[in-house]
Amino acid sequence: MTNPLPRLGYCSGCSEEIRLRTDGTLYQHPRYNVRCPGSRRPAALLEPTFVRWLYANAARRDGYSNRITGLAQLTFRGCTRSPNRAPADMPWTTAEGLHEDHHERLVRLSGSQDRRRTGGEHCDWVCRDVEQAGRVYAELVAAAAGRAA
């Protein structure tokens, strides 16, 4: 599995979403540049939504060869002058939401209301990558549900 679902927990020390180790405790992480003093146990487990899954892929190094990683980096890094964004900064959580958000951005860039419509002639390569990522995510969720059952 090249882009697995993330295992995430909510840290009570810094209110951030932090990756879990295999034993269910939070990975060490900084807060204000020092080690976060929060409990090692997550305050809550977080559902690996599409937006969190995509975000978990943004740190990978295969952005040029892996379309999902590339989409994650495009989505969360923006251009080099804008700060990195996090799942909580996004107005969407699903692949469909990201697709609509992409069209909103196209409208702002081009000024053409035409491009607001998702699906079909107004879609570009980003849309196709979003749809592909949505399918991969749905398969991962189905596979995880199958293992849990």
CB of residue 77 to Zn ion, shortest distance in Å: 21
**Closest residue by beta carbon to Zn ion:** 127
Which tokens in the block code for residue 66? 């892996």
Q: Which is nearer to Zn ion, 2 or 84 (CB)?
A: 84
3-state secondary structure of 63: coil
Using CB atoms within 10 Å of the CB of residue 12, give its burial: 0 to 12 exposed, 13 to 18 middle, 19+ buried. middle
Q: What Rg do the C-alpha atoms of the chain give, in angstroms?
A: 17
Closest to 72 in 3D by CA, of 85, 55, 89: 55
Q: Which is nearer to Zn ion, 45 or 143 (CB)?
A: 45
Q: Which is nearer to Zn ion, 23 or 80 (CB)?
A: 23
Q: Which is nearer to Zn ion, 10 or 85 (CB)?
A: 10
CB of residue 26 to Zn ion, shortest distance in Å: 7
Helix axes 95-110 and 125-148, enclosed angle (nearest 10) = 170
**Positions in the binding site for Zn ion (CB under 5 A):** 11, 13-14, 36, 38, 118, 123, 127
Give the β-pairing of 17-19 and 44-46: unpaired
CB of residue 106 to Zn ion, shortest distance in Å: 8
CB of residue 59 to Zn ion, shortest distance in Å: 17
